[in-house]
Amino acid sequence: MRLWKQTVVIVLVVFVLVVGGVSIYFSMPYHGTQTSIQSVENNPDVTISIEDDVTVLAPEGEPSSVGLVFYPGARVAPDAYYSSLAPLVTEANVTVFIPEMPLNIALLDAGAAGDIRTQQPTIQTWFVGGHSLGGVAACQYTESNDVHGLVLFASYCNTDVSDRPMTALSVTGSADGVLDRDAYRENQEYLPPTSATHEIQGMNHTQFGSYHGQRGDSPASLSYDEAHRRLAEIVVPWIADVSERTRSSSSG
């Protein structure tokens, strides 16, 4: 009996240590560099606010009727995406919402976009998207909720949304050492047939944000600024085009 009790105690202690260790690990996310954060904070064309654990990047002045809910990658903080998503605000007049996730894992709250959308009645055109595991969560949201577009950064859908009434944009980097390439290729059929795919040469996984140190990633041949510039050249016109077609079909 004593041996049995000791075994139970040991198992419980190990369980607590494992759970505690995992919780601590995921509660310490990668943050954006101070330079990247300040560059957006100092941009007079962008306003940054945080309310109810949702970071909002909004155009200064003219209100926006287009919104993007962006799910962060696993263990990545919202501020890591300030500089990569800011061009959508300044060049396409999009309001970007980046929710903070439980334990920094987007799959634990894939329905976050729904709560955000209900609080923004003036936004008429909605996109959802995400980076890495955040993109998987965005796909899960679109499986049962209508949006106008899906934006995937270094990610793929693990659920079939090919028949959903939307289009999608998938962007990867050729130097990405984190993305599961086999799963990415196999799951391309899960996207709508009108989807667009792009690969940015020399860009790695972390450059879809502005953080460093992710295990398994490969060195990039581009600077972060250059990677973000090339990313904006793809995403900004795509979202602007989808938004314009959405407005035209609604008015018609």
Residue 24: domain span: 1-30
* Placement of tokens 């009996």 in the chain: 1
- In a shared domain, residues 3 and 107: no
pLDDT given for residue 7 in this prediction: 52
Mean pLDDT along residues 59-75? 94
User: 203: Cβ–Cβ under 8 A, 6 or more apart, which residues?
Assistant: 173, 174, 175, 176, 220, 222, 227, 230, 231
Mean pLDDT along residues 167-173? 98
- pLDDT grade for 28, boundaries at 50, 70 and 90: confident
- In a shared domain, residues 166 and 238: yes
- In a shared domain, residues 58 and 87: yes
- In a shared domain, residues 1 and 38: no
Domains held by the chain: number: 2
Any idea what the CATH number is for the domain that residue 216 is in?
3.40.50.1820
Mean pLDDT along residues 150-154? 98
Q: What pTM did the predictor assign?
A: 0.89
Alpha helices in the chain (DSSP H): 2-26, 34-41, 82-92, 112-118, 133-144, 181-186, 224-251
- In a shared domain, residues 52 and 135: yes
pLDDT given for residue 13 in this prediction: 39
- In a shared domain, residues 81 and 8: no
pLDDT given for residue 1 in this prediction: 53
Give per-residue pLDDT as tens, 139-148. 999 999 999 9
Rounded Cα distance between 123 and 163, Å, is 24
Mean pLDDT along residues 173-188? 97
Q: Does position 23 have pLDDT exceeding 60, yes or no?
A: no
